[in-house]
Structure 1
């Protein structure tokens, strides 16, 4: 008797990916977004190797774009594997006024003219064209982590059918175990564990100038302790508007496991204390990310929120 299919063929065991494990452990997501003050998005139809954008963009271009504070990702239109004239987007996520500029390029060497340093500090360049439609990046980088492709691609049809956002597939944006992962620019908001219904809710809110806290992993312009502080303040005070947050001060312990963050929303200041703790029950050897050694899972958790006044 076979333990496989009715016709006697063997059945492949169900893959247990890192995203399913993290979800079943109810691992907190807040404070787990990657840090980036600016984003350089370069159109490339794929296929994308696991290390992309390395292996795709010339070394000189990677060196030029990869300045401190800049995240470089490859993008492509959903279901499109041909490009006649690539585009590039340069985005600043600076809290004082995030923006996106669009560029058409003939070759990737044209990217050497992009002023990414200006984008990091939030200054608007004169080059390029303003791009006012929100950019939606859906990580589908399966050769990096298969969870991203398996959970990210199903979001594309519903998102792409909208006319109020500009949707792109993209390479690795971090947080593979929280897939499906979506980044909204220009604000640099990372959302995770999305499905069709929650993705639609997140996009509806974003075009309306609001945030859905439940699936928010963090804002890329903030450090991870500040991300968890923003999330905690939103829950504490019921704040849904995107803008208005400023980080006033951060103090991190010497071992990096606790933090005290002073964060202001509009005229009200809050103090949030947070701790970074290992994820109970997390696997020690499981890793979906190809070519990368498994990392010990840990997460930030707010331990207290205090309102200290307004002005």
Structure 2
């Protein structure tokens, strides 16, 4: 992702090998790549799914993919700027060795060429990143207008806003934490209308509103309706219109629904004019033939995310994950 992410092959060269005056710029990209963005494009499967409750929010999938493509083009431009040749970066024990390259098979550390390459990379990346951000903002504004058009139509028909409500008590098969022995298969997202969904969302199988459930903000619920469910209808607090999401559940299959009043990156690029707006996440699960437990869920319990800095594999074959619960953001 641009110059961010621990696995990026660009980071050892551009960051470790960069001169001091350039490091701030590249550190900005690294930090932006590592931050946990809130989801920005509704009703699309996640392209990346973390190990816990899961599903990268939509912008994180769409925007990161676009940035990665832009980064590839940027690297190509840099290669042309230094002669159109392939270069290989040697990662050494110190910053001096980290900046050494092979160009046309010849090792060199010429400061002028090095500085020129960094300036070219910086200019290209800035242009590419600005273009990706502009495209994402246009798509978000179109999505906001689409959602708000449905809301205005429902209001014109005389619909009443959905009240804030604690909702009915969960049924026997509804739990606030993941049941054992399941693994996530798909993730879908849906936005509440702008400025709504900061308190709760009610959802039910299409055609059976009497079997509804309500999830509060910053929490999740696992539901097993014990019957096939093709489509789930849902409405956030304050909304006039009812939304639909296709889940295609088999009988006995678990569905988790989570509500996150998103106030992250979407605010900075103008989605819903920066108002807090609920993001609903639908995860579908299936049974596994191996023991598994999911102790934490991102966005619940007051935590922004959980990271897994280390894994332990015991001699008996058990895999233990040591997690860090982080608040405010996921940045390192």
- What TM-score comes out, normalization by structure 1 length? 0.21
More helix by share: 2
